[in-house]
């Protein structure tokens, strides 16, 4: 009996040791396929990615470059997160039709709403082009020369790539420039809004629950891809028809239990898993704290104003959410790096590396890498923080400064002629109109006063009284006339005159110093990555996320974040009702949902225990960009939608720990329940292929 227990423990440890990683879908044969099957998968590598036949990958689309979506019907219906479709839902909303508040459900194809600028992109195939990209690159070249060589090679490879006329190509660097892959892609630009739950479901829990478990958010929205009569990508036209995909995901009605296999397929944005310990120190001790402080100061002003006025609350809701999202993540990341001893662990790996370099007599080649990296990072922190603070203040947080930044880019465009200037002006005009639509001068002035001290002692709040750019009519007047006229008026504007020297200093001093130091560090990290893989070949290496299609896999699992606390992996509608605060902007529950709960009217979407599942946890290694990614079962069916990570595991971008890192998914049964029972959008349910893989 005892032996059996030890054996079970051993097997679980073995299993958990094989998780983590974001893998290239075309390279799953072998180790990954074996790992996945050990975790319960019945899928082969070819089921997931196949160039000659349809496979799971044909159902996965990059959603507008930042999120993931998946096809769930043979008529091009796609699912993504509510927070990914938020901008589109908002843009169709008005006081008469407030789709954010009420939700939106197209009754027929004709009611589905087109979205200018929105696109989804499929991966047609992936090819390793490393040798061809690196051809002619030699060790004695400068970084600039190497870059020029690889750029030239990449252009030639893409020009020579066989593809259909409507397809595109791109080449991306992996393992810090040690490997290159070519992607042939297909981009659809007629993508229409089909359905979205009200914010009180799709964003339930809002910022309070963001990055936190237990979670009760129905974070989904539905779109449809349209194509021309030949099923090819086409600009919006009323003659376009629903896209017929090469593959779509069947939807499982059987739900999940702890221990079930899960695969998350999507487009993770950025991770940095192979940083040296000094870099993790620099990020968590210098960069994150300074960014956190700036956003905290801005949020204090925004939050106080949102509390005091309903109008401001509505105007600033989405901005506040955006600023708070990364702010909260950085705090969680710093806590997690500390708690998981990530820096000490990385130092231990480096000691192992140094020892192995010695053993293999590679000191001449690799012996100085770590000490050089250390020296470089020592000099890097200050400029990294300065550049990042500039970006936070002048690009992300203060809107008056953000407008000045954009105007300065327009001014720069004037040097390239009147045509370029006019294009830039049109873009700036529309951005400024958008900004000033939801703008409150006193709030923005408050933000300015709160965050500018992080960058300079030269602070002049009176610019808000003098500038034209707090009022859309005045702003547009400044932008009238020839480029020379506009620039002359701009230079007389108080806010522009104030901001311009900072922006000039950024481009002439901050950015070049940053680039120079960063390039040197990148070059060292390219060598270090290569050295690590060569010297310690038995580690599990997977390339950092770079917004390309990846597979990550694991199991449904709860976790113990601290002493005596254990989190179950599944939440239910009961938990929504526990959190319910009538009228609250984060925790209100729509009447209809309360009624369905009271009547336990869950239809076929209830769990075996009679309760309605809402969200669940897995050990899949995900990051920003995986939002909207499908959670797929052992047979290739849809079981959920990824939308977040747990608080204690947000450090997984630098240090994935299978004990504590969990991704959060909305259970597809909750999605179906909302579409069917809550919204009565039966036509959508009928379109899907609902399956019972467990029966
Ligand atoms: N934390 C999730 C992500 O990084 C969800 C963000 C949207 N939700 C929010 N409350 N801001 O994107
Ligand atoms: N919410 C994130 C996104 O929008 C995904 C969560 C994460 O960062 O893991 O991509």
Global pTM value: 0.93
Contact of 671 with 224, CB cutoff 8 Å: no
Residue whose CA lies nearest to ligand 2 atom number 8: 624
Burial of 132 (0-12, 13-18, 19+ CB in 10 A): middle
Give residue-wise pLDDT tens across range 284-295: 999 999 999 999
Which atom of ligand 2 lies closest to the CA of 81? 4
pLDDT at 10: 44
- Cβ–ligand 2 distance for 219 under 6 Å, the answer no
Residue whose CA lies nearest to ligand 2 atom number 2: 624
pLDDT at 4: 47
Q: Which numbered ligand comes closest to the C-alpha of 545?
A: 2
Per DSSP, the chain holds a count of helices (H) and strands (E) of 27, 22
Residue 311 pLDDT grade (very low, low, confident, very high; cuts 50, 70, 90): confident
- Cβ–ligand 2 distance for 625 under 6 Å, the answer yes
**Mean pLDDT value of segment 664-682:** 98
**Mean pLDDT value of segment 123-144:** 96
Contact of 326 with 391, CB cutoff 8 Å: no
Residue 99 pLDDT grade (very low, low, confident, very high; cuts 50, 70, 90): very high
Which atom of ligand 2 lies closest to the CA of 329? 8
| 142: CB partners within 8 A, 6+ apart | none
Ligand 1 probe mutation, 64, 80, 81, 83, most atoms within 8 A of CB: 83
DSSP assignment letter at 392 = I
How far is it, in rounded angstroms, from Cα 674 to Cα 299? 33
DSSP assignment letter at 509 = I
Q: What percent of the chain has pLDDT over 70?
A: 98
- Cβ–ligand 2 distance for 658 under 6 Å, the answer no
User: Which positions are annotated as active-site residues?
Assistant: 83, 219, 627
Cα 356 to ligand 2 centre (Å): 37
**Mean pLDDT value of segment 597-619:** 97
Cα 147 to ligand 1 centre (Å): 35
pLDDT at 2: 46
Which atom of ligand 2 lies closest to the CA of 66? 10
Mean pLDDT check: name the lowest of 114-123, 304-313, 337-346, 566-575: 304-313
Cα 663 to ligand 2 centre (Å): 9
Nearest 5°: phi and psi at 262?
Answer: -135, 140
CATH for 2-119+189-272+543-691 (2.40.10.120, 3.40.190.100, 1.10.3720.10, 3.60.70.12): 2.40.10.120
Contact of 324 with 299, CB cutoff 8 Å: yes
Q: Which of 154, 129, 121 is nearest to 267 (CA)?
A: 121
The tokens for 562 are 């601290």
CB neighbour burial string for 18-41, b if at least 16 within 10 angstroms, e if fewer: bbbbbbbbbbbeeebbebbeebbb
CB count within 10 Å of CB 355 equals: 12
Residue 317 pLDDT grade (very low, low, confident, very high; cuts 50, 70, 90): confident
**Mean pLDDT value of segment 482-499:** 98
Residue whose CA lies nearest to ligand 1 atom number 7: 83
For residue 5, is pLDDT > 50? no
Residue 310 pLDDT grade (very low, low, confident, very high; cuts 50, 70, 90): confident
pLDDT at 512: 98
For residue 9, is pLDDT > 90? no
List beta partners, residue 183: 126, 170
For residue 13, is pLDDT > 60? no
Residue 93 pLDDT grade (very low, low, confident, very high; cuts 50, 70, 90): confident
List beta partners, residue 221: 80
- Cβ–ligand 2 distance for 626 under 6 Å, the answer yes
Residue whose CA lies nearest to ligand 1 atom number 5: 644
Cα 315 to ligand 1 centre (Å): 18
Q: Which of 173, 346, 187 is nearest to 270 (CA)?
A: 173
How far is it, in rounded angstroms, from Cα 636 to Cα 633? 5
pLDDT at 1: 40
pLDDT at 96: 85
**Mean pLDDT value of segment 581-597:** 96
Give residue-wise pLDDT tens across range 509-549: 999 999 999 999 999 999 999 999 999 999 999 999 999 99
How far is it, in rounded angstroms, from Cα 523 to Cα 611? 54
Contact of 73 with 688, CB cutoff 8 Å: yes
Angle between helices 399-414 and 483-492 (to 10 degrees): 140
Q: Which numbered ligand comes closest to the C-alpha of 82?
A: 1
For residue 18, is pLDDT > 90? no
pLDDT at 313: 84
Which atom of ligand 1 lies closest to the CA of 206? 10
For CATH 2.40.10.120, list the domain ranges present in the chain.
2-119+189-272+543-691
Cα 617 to ligand 2 centre (Å): 14
Give residue-wise pLDDT tens across range 435-445: 998 899 999 99
Helix (H) or strand (E) holding 182: strand 179-188
pLDDT at 17: 43
**Mean pLDDT value of segment 168-196:** 98
Cα 623 to ligand 2 centre (Å): 5
Give residue-wise pLDDT tens across range 225-280: 999 999 999 999 999 999 999 999 999 999 999 999 999 999 999 999 999 999 99
pLDDT at 636: 98
Q: Is 313 helix (H, G, I), strand (E, B) or coil?
A: helix
How much of the chain is in helix, strand and coil states, percent to nearest 5?
50, 15, 35
Residue whose CA lies nearest to ligand 1 atom number 11: 321
pLDDT at 284: 97
Contact of 393 with 454, CB cutoff 8 Å: yes
């Amino acid at each position: 009996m005892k032996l059996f227990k030890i054996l079970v423990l051993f097997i679980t440890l073995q299993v958990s040791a094989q998780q983590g990683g974001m893998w290239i879908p075309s390279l799953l044969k072998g180790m990954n396929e074996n790992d996945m099957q050990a975790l319960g998968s019945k899928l082969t590598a070819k089921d997931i990615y196949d160039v000659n036949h349809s496979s799971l990958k044909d159902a996965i689309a990059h959603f507008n470059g930042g999120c993931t979506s998946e096809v769930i019907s043979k008529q091009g219906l796609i699912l993504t997160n509510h927070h990914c479709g938020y901008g589109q839902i908002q843009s169709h909303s008005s006081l008469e039709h407030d789709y954010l508040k009420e939700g939106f459900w197209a009754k027929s194809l004709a009611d589905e709403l087109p979205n200018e600028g929105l696109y989804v992109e499929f991966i047609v195939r992936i090819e390793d082009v490393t040798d061809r990209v690196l051809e002619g690159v030699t060790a004695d070249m400068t970084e600039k020369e190497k870059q020029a060589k690889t750029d030239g090679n990449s252009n030639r490879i893409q020009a020579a790539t066989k593809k259909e006329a409507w397809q595109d190509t791109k080449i991306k660097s992996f393992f810090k420039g040690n490997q290159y892959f070519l992607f042939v892609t297909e981009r659809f630009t007629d993508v229409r809004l089909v359905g979205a739950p009200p914010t009180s479901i799709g964003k339930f829990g809002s910022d309070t629950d963001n990055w936190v478990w237990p979670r009760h958010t129905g974070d989904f929205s539905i779109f449809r891809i349209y194509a021309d009569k030949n099923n090819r990508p086409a600009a919006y036209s009323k003659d376009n028809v629903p896209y017929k995909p090469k593959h779509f995901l069947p939807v499982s009605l059987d739900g999940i239990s702890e221990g079930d296999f899960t695969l998350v397929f999507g487009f993770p944005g950025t991770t940095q898993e192979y940083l040296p310990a000094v870099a993790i120190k620099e990020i968590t001790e210098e960069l994150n704290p300074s960014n956190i402080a700036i956003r905290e100061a801005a949020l204090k002003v925004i939050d106080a104003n949102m509390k005091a006025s309903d109008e401001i609350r509505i105007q600033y809701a989405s901005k506040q959410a955006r600023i708070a999202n990364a702010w909260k993540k950085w705090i969680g990341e710093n806590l997690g790096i500390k708690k998981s001893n990530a820096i000490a662990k990385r130092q231990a790996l480096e000691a192992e590396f140094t020892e192995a370099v010695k053993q293999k007599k590679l000191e001449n080649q690799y012996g100085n890498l770590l000490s050089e990296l250390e020296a470089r990072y020592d000099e890097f922190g200050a400029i990294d923080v300065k550049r990042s603070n500039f970006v936070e203040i002048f690009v992300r947080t203060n809107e008056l400064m953000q407008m000045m930044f954009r105007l300065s880019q327009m001014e720069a465009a004037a040097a390239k002629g009147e045509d370029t200037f006019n294009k830039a002006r049109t873009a700036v005009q529309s951005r400024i109109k958008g900004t000033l639509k939801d703008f409150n001068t006193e709030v923005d002035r408050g933000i300015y006063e709160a965050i500018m001290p992080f960058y300079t002692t030269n602070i002049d709040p009176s610019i808000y009284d003098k500038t034209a750019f707090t009022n859309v009519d005045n702003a547009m007047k400044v932008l009238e006339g020839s480029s020379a006229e506009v620039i002359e008026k701009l230079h007389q504007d108080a806010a522009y005159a104030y901001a311009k020297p900072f922006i000039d200093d950024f481009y002439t001093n901050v950015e070049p110093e940053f680039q120079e130091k960063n390039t040197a560090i990148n070059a060292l990290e390219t060598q270090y990555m290569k050295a690590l893989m060569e010297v310690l070949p038995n580690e599990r290496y997977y390339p950092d996320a770079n917004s390309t299609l990846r597979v990550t896999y694991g199991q449904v699992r709860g976790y113990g974040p601290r002493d005596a606390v254990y989190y179950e992996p599944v939440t239910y509608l009961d938990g929504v009702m526990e959190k319910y605060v009538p009228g609250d902007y984060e925790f209100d529950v729509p009447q209809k949902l309360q009624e369905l709960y009271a009547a336990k009217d869950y239809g076929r979407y209830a769990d075996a225990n009679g309760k309605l599942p809402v969200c669940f946890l897995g050990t899949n290694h995900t990051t920003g960009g995986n939002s909207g990614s499908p959670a797929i079962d052992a047979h290739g069916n849809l079981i959920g939608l990824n939308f977040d990570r747990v608080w204690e595991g947000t450090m997984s971008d630098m240090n994935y720990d299978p004990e504590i890192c969990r991704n959060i998914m909305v259970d597809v049964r909750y999605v179906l329940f909302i579409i069917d029972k809550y919204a009565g959008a039966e036509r959508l349910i009928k379109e899907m292929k609902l399956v019972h893989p467990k029966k």
